Amino acid sequence: MRNLSVLIQGLLSLIFVGAFPLLADELAIDSEKMRIGDPSLEEVQLKLMLNPMTRDELEEVSHAWRNSLKETVQKISDISLKEESSSDDEKKKNELVDVKVKQLALLRTVLAEFKKKGGDSSDLKIYADAVSGIQVAVNENRSFLTRYSSWISSKEGGVKWGIQILKFSVIMMIFWVLAGFVRRVVRSATEKSNRFSELLEQFMIKISFRAMMLVGLLVALGTVGINVAALLTVIGGASFIIAFALQDTLSNFAAGVMLLIYRPFDVGDMVEVGGVSGKIGQVSLVSTTIKTFDNKLVLVPNKNVWGQIITNSSRNTERRVDMIFGIGYDDDSEKAQQILEKIVGEHELVLDEPEPVIQLHELADSSVNFICRPWVKTENYWQVHWDVLKRVKSEFDQAGISIPYPQQDVHIHQVN
């Protein structure tokens, strides 16, 4: 049995030794097909090569590309460490930097495919990030400009960042133009429709512009190499903390949405909200701006607006002016009523329909009171109110009709 075991081991060894050159040749052929370290390889071609590979195969390819990048970085460092470098050295260094940039991009493509198929590419990615910066010569005898001019002119250094900034700026400019176009389209569409209030129109116009700019920002960040998906994931993960910290703002936001949907008032309306009276100036998603009658700007949080009683004096096109006029008990009530009917009937801003109401209303403690209720256009309310008051005082004075005021009689009894 022992001899048989030795014989089997010998046969296996012969088979393995004989097959090893074939395996080595096969691996060499695969490595050649992968074109490891070839900076002329297109990213699309590399992705097609990587697509059928397994995780283990991608791990080997990743390390091979890392080693190729390492050799290039070593050559750049050797040239940079020379005390004196010729123009040929600088030219060769720039060429190597170009190769390094392309190898880095291709290595990142390999690492992305490796990670997608379940591999751990963190160490390789750390190395790629570490060597991605331009190597700067450290010879103290060189001037500042000499030591750092290579960074400015390198495609991996200043040129790379300049191109990235230019790409970011161009994309943001394009989306700024698109956002302006979308804003004009939305404004035109809302102005032609009668279903939207001015507040809702302003909201839709603003949100359309800002939404386009946000999309442009995400596209620009993705173009310059920032992982937008990871950024959104971080924001989403922190949403609970943000919501807790901004709970008052979110409640104002919800109230602002309700105000836009139910439209209890519009820009320019005269309202009374939470003890504040004035004209609506602007409504955002978090606050409402009211301009008081004495020209003060009051900023009211939307949750206080939606949670309070809202009195809108401008929503209806017609309003009734309610006035009460008192005369003395000794005055002629019939004549007073005729004067009131004459004043109201002759005012050009008083509406014929609905008809004004002028009646003796009550016998008060010190006066006989008439109600005077003409109907006017909402915008003419105060003008009619002031005109009628002024003329009633003048007409009553001319007719000898008194306008009593509260008074108290004091009787003194003398005790002997």
189 in any annotated domain? yes
Domain end position, chosen among 216, 245, 274: 245
199 in any annotated domain? yes
Q: For 275, which DSSP code? A: T
What pLDDT digit, counting tens, does each position of 328-340 carry?
988 999 999 999 9
In terms of domains, do 87 and 167 share one?
no
In terms of domains, do 188 and 100 share one?
no
In terms of domains, do 71 and 131 share one?
yes
Residue 155 has pLDDT above 60, yes or no: no
In terms of domains, do 32 and 151 share one?
yes
pLDDT-derived band at 194 (thresholds 50, 70, 90) equals low
Give me the long-range contacts of 253-257 (CB less than 8 A, separation at least 24): 253/285, 253/286, 253/302, 254/303, 255/301, 255/302, 255/303, 255/305, 255/306, 255/307, 256/283, 256/284, 256/285, 256/286, 256/287, 256/302, 257/285
In terms of domains, do 118 and 38 share one?
yes
Q: What is the CATH number of the domain that holds 274?
A: 2.30.30.60
pLDDT the model gives residue 85: 67
Residue 298 has pLDDT above 60, yes or no: yes
Domain that holds residue 58: 20-156
2 in any annotated domain? no
pLDDT the model gives residue 167: 86
250 in any annotated domain? no
194 in any annotated domain? yes
| Count of domains forming the chain | 4
Q: What is the CATH number of the domain that holds 241?
A: 1.10.287
Domain end position, chosen among 119, 136, 156: 156
Average pLDDT over residues 6-30: 42
Residue 196 has pLDDT above 70, yes or no: no
In terms of domains, do 179 and 295 share one?
no
Lowest mean pLDDT among 222-231, 273-282, 330-339: 222-231
Domain end position, chosen among 138, 156, 174: 156
141 in any annotated domain? yes
pLDDT-derived band at 108 (thresholds 50, 70, 90) equals confident
In terms of domains, do 240 and 187 share one?
yes
The mean pLDDT value of the chain amounts to 78
In terms of domains, do 164 and 152 share one?
no
Of the two residues 367 and 91, the one the predictor is more confident about is: 367
What pLDDT digit, counting tens, does each position of 62-99 carry?
888 888 888 888 888 887 777 676 777 777 877 887 78
102 in any annotated domain? yes
In terms of domains, do 178 and 283 share one?
no
CA angle 57, 63, 67 (to 5 degrees): 145
From residue 325, alpha-carbon distances to 190, 339, 348, 390 in Å are 47, 12, 21, 12
End-to-end CA, the chain: 157
Strand ranges (E), 232-309:
270-273, 276-283, 287-292, 297-301
What pLDDT digit, counting tens, does each position of 164-180 carry?
888 888 999 999 999 98
Q: What is the CATH number of the domain that holds 365?
A: 3.30.70.100
Of the two residues 344 and 2, the one the predictor is more confident about is: 344
Cβ neighbours of residue 148 closer than 8 Å, sequence gap 6 or more: 136
Do 72 and 96 touch, CB atoms closer than 8 A?
A: yes
Of the two residues 51 and 93, the one the predictor is more confident about is: 51
Q: Is 0.75 topped by the overall pTM?
A: no
pLDDT the model gives residue 59: 87
Of the two residues 323 and 189, the one the predictor is more confident about is: 323
Average pLDDT over residues 143-151: 54
In terms of domains, do 138 and 167 share one?
no
In terms of domains, do 329 and 380 share one?
yes
Lowest mean pLDDT among 205-219, 249-263, 303-317: 249-263
In terms of domains, do 62 and 125 share one?
yes
Of the two residues 145 and 198, the one the predictor is more confident about is: 198
pLDDT the model gives residue 1: 44
256 in any annotated domain? no
